[in-house]
Amino acid sequence: MTKTEVMAWLKAEQDPRGIENWKKHEEDSGGLKSYGIGLTRLRKYAKQLGRDAKLAKQLWKSKVYDAKVVSLLIDDPKTMTVEQAETQVDELQGGYLAHVFASCDATLAKAPFVLELLEKWIKSKDENRRRCGYGLLYEVSKWKKKSAPDDDAFLAHIARIEKNYKTQSIPVLMAMGGALLGIGSRNKELHAAALKLAKKIGPIDFDPDGRCDPMDVAKNLSHKVIKDRL
């Protein structure tokens, strides 16, 4: 598949309703345009394309949001480099791409250097890197493999969040909340520590227009499904 063919597909599949919604938040779009295609449809399309690092790099240069999302979804974690990640994190226009870049089953989270990168970004002075660092931590918190961090490492992350959460922006705080939710879903000890902090932080009101309910990590961690599983 070529970049031209992908762009033609995106244009053909454009969603007028999604485009109108995009225009409402145009000031936060970083100058990107969008065909208004939902993430679920883009994921399905990306699976059809398969891993293609060369095509991913070509699509990333586009000024179309949907194309950049596809780029992130089809990239190959085996060929990704720290230098590439550092460049891309500076190019996440408007923050809309950060979710797909660092969480939401992100390709970057599957790269062999992810543990070192998230540790570096979490401690960064750059807000976008901190946000993405905690997004990657959420992805890592779901690992079941032997290379996953141990409980002490996750407890250290909880302690860092407790120390710093009061001074963070809403996007970073939400990423912290996501990480707490992931960590607290691993086992009883981590659940107790994460839940205690989540109650201290309280619901995170991320929508000043009141269209969405606040992110309530404590409520989610207290759900019967999680408690029964643990």
User: What pLDDT was estimated at residue 87?
Assistant: 97
pLDDT 10s digits, 168-202: 999 999 999 999 999 999 999 999 999 999 999 99
User: What pLDDT was estimated at residue 30?
Assistant: 85
Task: Please count the other Cβ atoms lying within 10 Å of the Cβ belonging to residue 48.
Answer: 9
How is the chain split into domains, by residue range?
112-230
pLDDT 10s digits, 116-160: 999 999 999 999 999 999 999 999 999 999 999 999 999 999 999
pLDDT 10s digits, 45-88: 999 999 999 999 999 999 999 999 999 999 999 999 999 999 99
User: What pLDDT was estimated at residue 159?
Assistant: 98
- The more confidently predicted of residues 25 and 159 is 159
User: What pLDDT was estimated at residue 209?
Assistant: 74
pLDDT above 70 as % of the chain = 100
